[in-house]
Chains A and B, each alone.
Chain A
Amino acid sequence: MDIKFSEDNLKKLEAIKEHYPVSSAALMPALWLVQKQFGWISEDTMKYISKLLDIPSEQIYGVVKFYTMLNSVPKGKFHLEVCTNISCMLRGSYDILKYISEKLNISSGETTPDGMFTLNEVECLGSCGTAPAMQVNDHYEENLNKEKIDKIIESLSMKTDKNP
């Protein structure tokens, strides 16, 4: 498959490069654009970015692997990331994680066979005042309880686009 940025993303990348004195600093924003367009960051896209920004692809691989949010494997359409760090834990986040896990019949780190949901236990989301919380793609769901989870999963199951 021919990997290429959309016209829109190419324009965005050119504008981002202007933010920095050296183009290599545009790597992380470029990887975010990749993830937005392709859903994840494959080795082929890393090679594409390598040519675009003149950075060795090995170095790009190192950067992708360092950051938790940059996905080097494909994820489901909706990525459910449940915070289980201390403030959320004190307010029952492990019950929430277990509940979602049983409801979707997947463990943390797995994707449902239909490719709809990926479940992950994650570190503090900075949502301690509205705990327990989880992230669904770019969106935060806070003050979770089982009824709320039911509603969220039900409405996500019916979505045709990726916006939660």
Chain B
Amino acid sequence: MEPLILKNIPDYHKLDVYLKNGGYEALNKALFKMKTDEIIEEVKKSGLRGRGGACFPTGLKWSFMPKKSDKPCYLCCNGDEAEPGTFKDRQIFEFNPHQFIEGTLIACYAMNIKTAYVYIRGEYHKWQELLQTAINDAYEQKLIGKNILGSNFSTDIFIHSGAGAYICGEESALMNSIEGKRGYPRVRPPFPAAFGLWGCPTTINNIETIANIPPIIEHGGEWYSGIGEPKHPGTLLFGISGHVNKPGVYELPTGTLLTDIIYKYAGGVTNNKKIKMVIPGGSSMPPLIAEEVVGLKMDQESLKAVGSSIGTAGIIVMNEDADIVKVLLRITQFYYHESCGQCTPCREGCGWMLKILRRIDEGSGRKEDLDLLVDIANNIEGNTICAFGDAVAWPVKYTLKKFISEFQKKIVITKPELLPQNIVHSLR
């Protein structure tokens, strides 16, 4: 099928090329032919689910925003994209920024929002500049700003740069970061639609989610709901990396076979090796073993059935040579570094798990360590302010469950041999 976002049109990132190919038609339709409720209804009908990892229905999220509000309302577009294995939003900024801008404007119009912030991770300096250029061009053509396309709808779009904190991809931490604070997640309720940026009604959507809005408005929700899997419709930007011959981002309908993505699109496993483990949607998602990969469709419901989740659709493939203990150690090291430190189970637990995994990897693991790891993970999961706790617990729990022998192999139980002088010493 034809891609909806990463279209194969040369120079599509340029405003004139985008306009020539029917760009901003959806905005025109939304502003002059549709009521705000109709737009939200259309998005609901499309079945579009959030692309940031939680798969929340977008139309429903939009409907939480108050119809009338004394306070200003805000839209935050989440381009923090820091989940290891995820590199899709940068493709949108680079190859189709105007479709994202158009989607943002439609979202703002539908929810009566006058200001949208695009939160982009600090490392993405180049992509911030690319988007800023596109925004400037759109301002010049009066597509953003006051009285857009001659209507009485006005809105501004600003880029807010992050500064290297994974947690700011969490929606409430993201809002604190925009407010100029440390990126600490907030306790909910109250939810952002009631109490968001500066206490005002706020909606937070992923960049890819918003980029899907223009085709939905242009062709209708019903048309969109017919793409891919009925319960999770549309296309996904699958980012595939690790041990494959052609890593990259491939836009494919939901429900595409994982084996097709690996072998047909990503050119197969490097050196023609066997698959050992696949992480289906960014490092926090429970991993899959080779047997689970065969025949598996890539959509939220199919992944739920095998105890995992689509996450950000960032697929990481590991071949038979991969050292699973080292992989889990590296993932845990990441979470240890990125834990914001607010909740004790997460702040302390990440460090403990890292220390234990390190000693297992170095060959000095103890036999009770594997149970201890699961115990710590269980004590983090569900006991924290935000979903980071689950994100750190899942890989540990499920990697251990599915690859326990890899860990057992590294734990060699030896009876400590005491030298004679030590025996004497211990007797004293």
Interface positions of A (Cβ within 8 A of B): 19-22, 24-29, 31-32, 55, 62-63, 66-70, 84-87, 89-91, 122-131, 135, 138-140
Interface positions of B (Cβ within 8 A of A): 72, 81-87, 90, 121-126, 156, 158, 160-166, 177-183, 198, 239-243, 247-249, 279, 283, 314, 316, 318, 322, 326-327, 330-331, 334, 337-338, 340
A126/B318 contact (C-beta < 8 A), A27-B180, A69-B123, A135-B123 known: no
- List 21 A-B residue pairs with CB atoms under 8 Å apart, sorted by A's residue number: A20-B178, A25-B180, A31-B163, A68-B164, A69-B122, A85-B330, A85-B334, A86-B84, A86-B242, A87-B84, A89-B327, A90-B242, A90-B316, A123-B82, A123-B84, A124-B82, A124-B283, A129-B87, A129-B241, A135-B123, A139-B126
The answer, among A22, A63, A67, A138, for a CB contact under 8 Å with B164, is A67
Q: Are B165 and A68 in contact (CB under 8 A)?
A: yes
Residues of A within 8 A of B248 (CB): 129
**Which residue of chain B is the closest to A93 with respect to CB atoms?**
B330
Q: Are B124 and A69 in contact (CB under 8 A)?
A: no
> CA separation between A125 and B121, bound complex, in Å?
9
A86/B330 contact (C-beta < 8 A), A28-B177, A29-B160, A70-B163 known: yes
Task: Write the nearest CB–CB distance from A130 to chain B, whole angstroms.
Answer: 7
Q: Are B165 and A28 in contact (CB under 8 A)?
A: no
Residues of B within 8 A of A67 (CB): 122, 162-165, 183
Residues of B within 8 A of A69 (CB): 122-123, 162-164
The answer, among A22, A63, A124, for a CB contact under 8 Å with B334, is A124
> CA separation between A107 and B315, bound complex, in Å?
31
Task: Write the nearest CB–CB distance from B239 to chain A, whole angstroms.
Answer: 6
Task: Write the nearest CB–CB distance from A76 to chain B, whole angstroms.
Answer: 18
> CA separation between A25 and B121, bound complex, in Å?
17
Residues of A within 8 A of B160 (CB): 19, 28-29
Which of A24, A25, A70, A87 is most buried by chain B, counting CB atoms within 10 A of its CB?
A: A87
Q: Are B182 and A66 in contact (CB under 8 A)?
A: yes
> CA separation between A140 and B121, bound complex, in Å?
14
**Which 3 pairs, one residue from A and one from B, show the smallest C-beta to C-beta distance?**
A27-B180, A68-B164, A69-B164
Task: Write the nearest CB–CB distance from B276 to chain A, whole angstroms.
Answer: 11
Task: Write the nearest CB–CB distance from B125 to chain A, whole angstroms.
Answer: 4
Residues of A within 8 A of B326 (CB): 89
Q: Are B87 and A126 in contact (CB under 8 A)?
A: yes
> CA separation between A26 and B161, bound complex, in Å?
11
Task: Write the nearest CB–CB distance from A31 to chain B, whole angstroms.
Answer: 8
**Which residue of chain B is the closest to A81 with respect to CB atoms?**
B123
Residues of A within 8 A of B318 (CB): 90
- Other A-B contacts than A25-B179, A126-B124, 10 sampled, CB-CB below 8 A, are A19-B156, A26-B180, A67-B162, A69-B122, A70-B164, A90-B242, A124-B82, A135-B123, A139-B125, A139-B126
